[in-house]
């Protein structure tokens, strides 16, 4: 390949910046929704998973196992193609956001449950002995300690979520990955185009990785 | 103030508390001792409902412990000090002390803080308000734990081997706080092997073995003329060093 051709292709990609930016925006939006909603729901599920109510713990465990044990791509297809069969029409973005939030919540649930279980029983006894209600024990004593322990795993999960969000390109959503597919139709240099796409993901994930490393230090 | 009547508890087939009868009067200090596995910790943990029992009755401050609905109001009146301190590691000493008064007693935070500071000063930790538990020695942590219980202004204080996890040189600083508390007229049950403490402040000493109360006596009689063979054997083991 000549240098001129390469430069031409780079120039071509630069001209596609609106597509790349749009894709980056969709990926960012999906990641943000997935992280915020997935963490919120994940904490609720995790509290249920670690509950002393065996029945509740079992139901939550079974639910999260189903999704943790199947490919995200399949789950996105189910939400997007199968829900309309039962009358739930969703646009691609909503379908993608739901599927990603759900899978994030399922993984985060197990992380949260493991954090809750790691809080020494003496902590709960001390809180209970002081007359705190179950909810106060959870909110004031158990969750703050559990959260501190799971921050690194949690951020790791966020990074996976950002990268997993690329599966929504399979239902036609113009995210960062799909913007690469669009560009490569016109600029036939896959290595170059998808390197740019990769850099886009890295730019989102790196601050998260950096954050997690900083938080791991005491 | 506290009354055990024919109380029994089993862990599966293991009969851990056998026909316990014991009454503790207001202002009385009762020391419970006995070999490990004798059921003394289980006994004191029954008082604030950390352990359930299967038969008999336990009335504390005119409330039945067996009734789950009584548990929270009861616990508000009972301080409990653990062998392992169990301070909240994510809270400072002062926050440990004020948490329950603010959230359970609904005390205005300002009032809780001034009460908490006064108590930390009283246990000799006036310079440690903002220290986290891991920055404190064992003896200091246990004193914070005592202040934490006192900040709820309990009617009864329960101590479950409060000095057993401490290095020897820190035991006295904790015992001093407990002696002062006893002299202030606090009703206390103390599970401990600190016989010096028992001699100094206990109204009665209870000796337990294999889940049963073997002997109850005033300290003088307990140490000089124990009636039961097992008590003599136990005292021989812990006093002759």
Which residue in A126, A136, A148 is closest to B82 by CB distance?
A126
pLDDT of A218 reads 54
Nearest to B224 by CA among B210, B205, B211: B205
pLDDT of residue A3: 84
At residue A102, the 3 state secondary structure works out as helix
Tell me, what's the pLDDT at B215?
95
Number of domains in chain A: 1
Write out residues 91-130 of A within 8 Å (CB-CB) of B.
120, 122-123, 125-130
Mean pLDDT of B208-231: 94
Query: Mean pLDDT of all residues in chain B?
Result: 95
Contact residues, chain B, for A144 at CB < 8 Å: 90
CB contact under 8 A, B78 and A129: yes
Chain B, nearest residue to A140 by Cα: B99
Give the number of other Cβ atoms within 10 Å of residue B227's Cβ.
12
Taking Cα atoms as reference points, which of A160, A161, A150 lies closest to residue A216?
Answer: A150
Structure tokens at A70: 């199947």
> Is A131 in Cβ contact with B50 (below 8 Å)?
no
Give the model's pLDDT for residue A1.
Answer: 61
- Strand arrangement, sheet containing B29-33: B78-81, B156-160, B187-191, B29-33, B204-209, B212-217
Residue A88, pLDDT score: 85
Specify the CATH number for the domain of residue A180.
1.10.3720.10
The helix-helix angle for A92-118 and A17-49 (nearest 10°) equals 40
B38 burial level (CB within 10 Å; 0-12, 13-18, 19+) = buried
pLDDT at A26 over 70: yes
Neighboring chain A residues of B148 at a CB cutoff of 8 Å = 130
Please list every residue in chain B whose beta carbon sits closer than 8 Å to the beta carbon of residue A136. 103-104
* Residues A42-73: tens digit of each pLDDT: 999 999 999 999 999 999 999 999 999 999 99
> What contacts B18, CB < 8 A, 6 or more positions away?
B8, B39, B210, B211, B212
pLDDT in tens, B173-188: 999 999 999 999 999 9
Summarize pLDDT for A155-167 with one digit per residue, the tens.
999 999 999 999 9
Interface residue of A130, A137, A141, A149 to substitute, partner B, most B CBs within 10 Å: A130
- ipTM surpasses 0.90: yes
In A, minimum Cα distance to B90 occurs at: A145
> pTM of the predicted model, to two decimals?
0.89
| Angle in degrees, 0-180, between the axes of helices A176-186 and A17-49, rounded to the nearest 10 | 150
Of all helices (H) and strands (E), which one includes residue B93?
A: helix B93-103
Q: DSSP string covering B37-88, please?
A: TSSHHHHHHHHTTSS--SEEEEEETTEETTSGGGHHHHHHTEEEE-TT----
pLDDT of residue A213: 82
Are residues B99 and A133, on separate chains, in Cβ contact within 8 Å?
no
CA distance A214 to chain B (A): 18
- Cβ–Cβ < 8 Å for A162, A27: yes
Out of A14-18, A83-87, A100-104, A206-210, the most confident range is: A100-104
* Tens-digit pLDDT profile for residues B100-133: 999 999 999 999 999 999 999 999 999 999 999 9
Range of the structural domain that residue A78 is part of: 3-216
Tell me what pLDDT residue B240 has: 67
Distance from CA of A13 to the nearest CA of B (A): 51
B239 pLDDT tier (thresholds 50, 70, 90): confident
Cβ contacts of A145 on chain B, cutoff 8 Å: 88-90
Q: So what's the pLDDT on residue B241?
A: 56
| CA nearest to A197, candidates A210, A186, A209, A182 | A182
Q: Give per-residue pLDDT as tens, A125-149.
A: 999 999 999 999 999 999 999 999 9
């Amino acid at each position: 390949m000549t240098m001129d051709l390469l430069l031409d292709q780079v120039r071509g990609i630069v001209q596609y910046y609106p597509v790349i930016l749009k894709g980056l925006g969709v990926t960012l939006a999906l990641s943000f929704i997935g992280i915020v909603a997935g963490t919120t729901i994940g904490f609720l599920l995790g509290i249920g998973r670690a509950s002393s109510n065996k029945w509740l713990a079992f139901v939550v465990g079974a639910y999260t196992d189903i999704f943790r044990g199947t490919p995200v791509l399949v789950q996105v297809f189910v939400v997007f193609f199968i829900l309309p069969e039962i009358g739930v029409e969703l646009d691609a973005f909503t379908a993608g956001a739901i599927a990603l939030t759900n899978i994030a919540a399922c993984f985060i649930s197990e992380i949260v449950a493991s954090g809750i279980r790691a809080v020494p029983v003496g902590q709960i006894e001390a809180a209970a002995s002081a007359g705190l209600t179950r909810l106060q024990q959870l909110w004031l004593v158990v969750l703050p300690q559990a959260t501190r322990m799971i921050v690194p795993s949690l951020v790791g999960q966020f990074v996976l979520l950002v990268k997993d969000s690329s599966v929504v390109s399979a239902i036609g959503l113009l995210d960062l990955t799909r913007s690469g597919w669009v560009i490569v139709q016109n600029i036939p240099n896959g290595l170059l185009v998808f390197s740019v796409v990769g850099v886009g993901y890295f730019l989102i994930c790196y601050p998260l990785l950096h954050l997690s490393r900083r938080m791991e230090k005491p | 103030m506290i009354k055990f009547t024919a109380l029994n508890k089993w862990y599966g087939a293991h009969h851990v508390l056998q026909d316990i009868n014991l009454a503790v009067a207001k202002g009385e200090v009762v020391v419970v001792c006995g070999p490990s596995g004798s059921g003394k910790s289980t006994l004191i943990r029954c008082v604030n409902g950390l352990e359930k029992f299967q038969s008999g009755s336990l009335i504390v401050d005119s409330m039945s412990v067996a009734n789950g609905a009584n548990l929270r109001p009861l616990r508000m009146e009972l301080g409990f000090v653990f062998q392992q301190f169990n301070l909240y590691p994510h809270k400072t000493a002062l926050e440990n002390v004020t948490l329950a008064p603010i959230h359970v007693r609904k005390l205005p935070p300002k009032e809780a803080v001034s009460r908490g500071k006064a108590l930390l000063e009283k246990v000799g930790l006036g310079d440690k308000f903002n220290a986290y538990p891991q920055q404190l020695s064992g003896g200091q942590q246990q004193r914070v734990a005592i202040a934490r219980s006192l900040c709820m202004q309990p009617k009864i204080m329960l101590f479950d081997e409060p000095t057993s996890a401490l290095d020897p040189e820190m035991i006295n600083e904790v015992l001093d706080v407990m002696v002062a508390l006893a002299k202030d007229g606090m009703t206390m049950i103390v599970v401990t092997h600190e016989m010096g403490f028992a001699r100094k402040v206990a109204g009665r000493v209870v000796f337990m073995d294999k889940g049963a109360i073997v002997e109850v006596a005033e300290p003088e009689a307990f140490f000089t003329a124990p009636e039961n063979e097992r008590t003599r054997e136990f005292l021989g083991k812990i006093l002759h060093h």
